[in-house]
Every structure is written in structure tokens, then in C-alpha cells.
């Protein structure tokens, strides 16, 4: 299925932000969007690129009532030789289909959407910031559109992709963040939807996030939903702790997001000969490690966050400083390496990069 392209009238083009220091995250959207619809019996159809516009949705659209939706997040970079680069975007589309499966949404054709995505990025490539650390964030979304209030999977869907220039996800940039460990709320439970990239997981995190923010912590570290002790993830990123010579992250238990950056970190650390384990570990292990000095560093990983060093962990009224509140050695090395790859400079040993232009 070829993608039809309807370009924005030159007079309606939006101004492209040029002050990259003020980009923030998720505030600006480029001139075009990709869309297609699904109907039972017909499948996905009418892939096209159109000028960015509001959606026309029935107020009874099922996504608005029961949250049947999935999304993704990926980035395009303006890098070496003024090229346009993307990082592991097909892995994101594959994960989108896994999320679709959990949310009973029909899967997309990855190759076709991948081509449409590239066309969108190329069409709006002027929007990709020319500054390392900034990128074009790309947000595919699938929503249930049946105008129906009974609870069942929708029979019609809208898939769309929007994009926009972003800077660092956290206002701190690449600097250590303090994270608040929630022992009051849970994000997800095994058997639930925690491993799907779907709106409900983010909605579930908002109250805890707001309460943490009021106490001065930008992010919440989630413990498992049953025993409230195993480290899971941060909601906007996966998390790694280094104890002695071992870097540890939670295994994919079903309640955490299988991050593409998480997987990249694991592969890179293994390649560098650094021991990395996906195993269960508890908040008590973190505190014990902080107290006996074996915990030397912690960091989060995610598409939006890239690598985010953790400067302290706050649990049950106590602050536990990590790496003297500074950026650890491995966090710095991973950050530098990922950026160098993503901007087309480093050697792409794993075949993660695609140059679009």
C-alpha cells in the first residue's frame, strides 16, 4: 500500500523552534502526520501523510472510555555529515505490535508503517534540531474508535504518527536525578498490562508522580505490585544499579516495559566485558548496598530519557545518596556511546542505526 502524501500549504507551515535551549519535551509538533484506519473485514487501509491537524473523534469513541490504545516513542537525529539517522526504529514497531497483542488491537504491517514513518521524517526533516542532545521525537499511537459504550474490543481503530523537536526529557538534562520510591501505590502487577506501552500504565502513575513532585522528587521508582519490595522501573525509564562489579536490572517479569534502550544498555555492557544481570533485587538490597558502599552507581535508560544518572534514592523518609550524587562512570560512558551512535558518529557494531538522508 503506497502512502498518499498531502503536503501542508506553504502559507500554513508552522514556525520551527530555533532556540534549542528552550525546546523542552513534547511541546512542539511538526507540519505533518501519518494516518491510517482499521475496519474489521478490511484490515488497515488508507495510509497517508497529511498536514498536522486535530482528530475528529466521536465522543463515544471507545479509547476515551476504556483506554484501549497503545503507543511508541522513538527519535530521529540530525548528525554526522548533516545526515538524518534513526535508532532501532523497527524494534519499536515490533514492540508496538506486542503491545497491540496485549490490548487486543490488530497488529500493523511493520514494513509498511516503517516506510511511512521514514517518509514522514524526511518530509519534516527541517524540524530535526541541529544540536547534539536534541532530536525529533516520534510518537506512533493506535486508538480504538468504535462509538460504543459496551466493554469489548473495538472493531475500528485509528493509527497515527506525530513528531516534534525535543531537548532533554528532564529539565536537569544529563545530570543526576533524585528518585522517590513509592511504597504506597503500584504501577502494574504481573498478569496486568505493565509490559504493554499503553496509556493506562501512565495514568496509574500520575498520583504518585504528583505526590513525589510535591516533595521535590522528579520521578517515582516503582516496586513490584505484590510484595512491594522488588525494584521494577521508573515509568519513563528502566533502571540499573551497580553493586560491586555487577550491573543489575529487573528481569522482564511481565509488569515492566521491555525498553529498547534497556536492551541496548545490556548488549553494550556485555560487549564491554561488564557483568550485567537481569535478576530480581529489592529496595533493601539497594539500601544495604548504599550503606556498605557496594552500590557505586545507578541510572535509568529510555528513549526520551536516554541515560539518566540517579543521584539519590528516597525511601520511607530517608535519602540515600548514590555515587556521591554525581554522574557515575558507566552512566557517562553509556550516554557518550549512545549519543555518538545516534548522531551517526560511532561505529555501529550492532546494526542499530539507519541513515535516512
Helix or strand run (H / E) with residue 181: strand 177-181
If one asks whether residue 145 binds ligand COI (CB under 6 A), the answer comes out as no
CB proximity list for 271: less than 8 A, separation 6 or greater: 349
C-alpha radius of gyration, the chain, whole number: 21
Contact status, residue 247 vs residue 275, Cβ threshold 8 Å:
yes
Distances (CA, A) of 125 to 52, 79, 92, 128, 262: 15, 12, 20, 5, 27
232-251 binders of ligand COI (CB under 6 A): 236
Shorter beta-carbon distance to ligand COI: residue 35 or 304 = 304
d(CA 323, CA 56): 50
Please, which residue, 141 or 156, has the CB nearer to ligand COI?
A: 141
User: What is the closest distance, in whole angstroms, from the C-beta atom of residue 235 to ligand COI in the complex?
Assistant: 8
Nearer to ligand COI, 165 or 302 (CB): 302
Nearer to ligand COI, 74 or 295 (CB): 74
Closest by CA position to 183, among listed 139, 219, 152, 229: 229
The count of C-alpha atoms lying within 13 angstroms of the C-alpha of 352, restricted to the half-sphere facing its C-beta, is 27
Tell me the sheet residues that pair with 297. Answer: 242
Q: How far is the CB of 73 from ligand COI (least distance, A)?
A: 2
Beta-carbon-side half-sphere exposure of residue 46 (alpha carbons within 13 Å): 12
Nearer to ligand COI, 282 or 354 (CB): 354
311-349 b/e with 16+ CB inside 10 Å = b? bbbbbeeeebebbeeebbebbbebbebbbbbbbbeeebe
**Nearest to ligand COI of 147, 171 (CB atom):** 171
Among 108, 166, 304, 330, binds ligand COI (CB under 6 A): 304
Instruction: Tell me the residue nearest to ligand COI as measured from the CB.
Output: 73
Closest distance of CB 280 from ligand COI, Å: 24
Q: How far is the CB of 54 from ligand COI (least distance, A)?
A: 21
Does 73 bind ligand COI (CB under 6 A)? Our answer is yes
Among residues 170 and 185, whose Cβ is nearest to ligand COI? 170
Q: Work out whether the CA dihedral 278, 107, 100, 152 comes out positive or negative.
A: negative
DSSP per position, 34-52: EEEEEETTTEEEEEEEEE-
- Least Å distance, CB 231 to ligand COI, is 18
Q: Counting contacts by CB under 6 A, is residue 218 touching ligand COI?
A: no
Q: Which is nearer to ligand COI, 140 or 289 (CB)?
A: 140
Three-class secondary structure of residue 199 per DSSP: helix
Binding positions for ligand COI, 284-303, rule CB under 6 A: 302-303
Say whether residue 143 binds ligand COI (CB under 6 A).
no
Dihedral (C-alpha) 99, 157, 89, 6: value to the nearest 10 degrees? -170
Q: What cell was used for 281?
A: 533485587
By C-beta, is 225 or 259 nearer to ligand COI? Answer: 259
Question: Helices (DSSP H) in the chain: which residue ranges?
Answer: 62-66, 89-102, 110-123, 199-214, 260-271, 283-292, 329-342
At closest approach, how far in Å is the CB of 303 from ligand COI? Answer: 4
135 binds ligand COI (CB under 6 A): no
3 counts as binding ligand COI under rule CB under 6 A: no
* Smallest gap from residue 156 Cβ to ligand COI (A): 25
Residue 295 or 339 with smaller CB distance to ligand COI: 339
In the complex, minimum distance from the CB of residue 260 to ligand COI, in angstroms, rounded to a whole number: 9
We find the least distance from the C-beta atom of residue 293 to ligand COI, in angstroms, to be 32
Q: Point out which residues bind ligand COI (CB under 6 A).
A: 73, 236, 302-304
Amino acid at each position: 500500500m503506497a502512502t498518499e502524501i498531502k503536503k501542508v500549504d506553504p502559507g500554513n507551515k508552522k514556525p520551527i523552534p530555533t532556540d534549542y535551549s528552550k525546546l523542552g519535551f513534547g511541546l512542539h509538533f511538526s507540519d505533518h502526520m501519518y494516518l491510517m484506519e482499521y475496519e474489521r473485514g478490511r484490515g488497515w487501509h488508507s495510509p497517508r501523510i497529511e498536514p498536522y491537524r486535530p482528530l475528529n473523534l466521536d465522543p463515544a469513541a471507545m479509547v476515551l472510555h476504556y483506554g484501549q490504545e497503545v503507543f511508541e516513542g522513538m527519535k530521529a537525529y540530525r548528525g554526522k555529515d548533516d545526515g538524518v539517522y534513526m535508532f532501532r526504529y523497527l524494534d519499536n514497531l515490533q514492540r508496538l505490535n506486542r503491545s497491540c497483542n496485549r490490548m487486543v488491537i490488530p497488529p500493523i504491517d511493520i514494513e509498511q508503517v516503517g516506510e511511512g514513518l521514514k517518509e514522514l521524517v524526511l518530509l519534516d526533516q527541517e524540524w530535526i534540531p541541529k544540536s547534539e542532545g536534541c532530536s525529533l521525537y516520534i510518537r506512533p499511537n493506535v486508538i480504538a474508535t468504535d462509538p460504543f459504550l459496551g466493554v469489548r474490543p473495538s472493531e475500528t481503530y485509528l493509527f497515527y504518527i506525530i513528531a516534534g523537536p525535543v531537548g532533554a526529557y528532564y529539565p536537569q538534562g544529563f545530570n543526576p536525578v533524585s528518585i522517590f520510591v513509592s511504597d504506597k501505590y503500584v504501577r502494574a502487577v504481573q498478569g496486568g498490562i505493565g509490559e504493554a506501552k499503553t496509556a493506562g500504565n501512565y495514568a496509574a502513575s500520575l498520583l504518585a508522580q504528583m505526590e513525589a513532585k510535591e516533595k521535590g522528587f522528579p520521578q517515582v521508582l516503582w516496586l513490584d505490585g505484590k510484595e512491594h519490595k522488588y525494584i521494577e522501573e521508573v515509568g519513563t525509564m528502566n533502571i540499573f544499579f551497580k553493586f560491586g562489579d555487577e550491573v543489575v536490572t529487573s528481569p522482564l517479569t511481565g509488569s515492566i516495559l521491555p525498553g529498547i534502550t534497556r536492551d541496548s544498555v545490556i548488549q553494550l555492557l556485555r560487549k564491554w566485558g561488564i557483568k550485567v544481570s537481569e535478576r530480581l533485587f529489592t529496595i533493601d538490597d539497594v539500601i544495604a548496598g548504599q550503606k556498605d558502599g557496594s552500590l557505586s552507581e545507578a541510572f535509568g535508560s529510555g528513549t526520551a530519557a536516554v541515560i539518566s544518572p540517579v543521584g539519590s534514592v528516597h525511601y520511607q523518609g530517608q535519602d540515600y545518596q548514590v555515587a556521591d550524587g554525581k554522574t557515575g562512570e558507566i552512566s557517562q560512558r553509556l550516554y557518550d556511546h549512545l549519543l555518538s551512535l545516534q548522531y551517526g558518529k560511532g561505529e555501529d557494531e550492532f546494526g542499530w542505526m539507519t541513515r535516512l538522508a
